[in-house]
Amino acid sequence: MAALQLWWDTIRGVVTTAPREHFDLLRGDVRYALRNLRRHPGSTAVAALALAVGIGANTAVFTIVNSVLIRTLPYADPAALVTMFETHVGRPFQGRNRLASVVILESARRAALA
């Protein structure tokens, strides 16, 4: 029973004193940091500029990724969107060319009739 009482007193002591001790340590660290930032304004400016550039770049990249990859397309059925190509065989330049919208519409009309 004495061991249980010892554990209880230890836990109660830690719970009551730990937050105060951590707050005192944090307050001392913040005061030290502010004092050093005041002493070295050049380093402070460089650090603030680096933070600003990093946050701005991160925001720009996230905005692009969000709009291109994450957010859904503003169409009713985005999975049905396709790109059609035509292949030219026997010509000097053999490659894929995108079809004109008239050809795509005609192909869609024929597929709907079939």
pLDDT at residue 101 in the model? 63
Yes or no: say if 88 and 95 are a contact pair by the CB < 8 Å rule: yes
Residue 99's pLDDT is 60
8 A C-beta contact, residue 58 and residue 71: no
C-alpha to C-alpha distance for 85 and 87, rounded to whole angstroms: 7
Coil, helix or strand for 40? Answer: coil
User: Of the candidates 79, 98, 97, which has an alpha carbon nearest to the alpha carbon of residue 88?
Assistant: 97
| Domains of the chain by residue range | 1-39, 40-73, 82-113
85 close to 99: Cβ distance less than 8 angstroms? yes
Mean pLDDT by 10 residues, the chain (114 residues): 86 87 94 95 95 98 90 74 68 61 70 75
pTM: 0.47
H helices of 66-100, in order, are: none
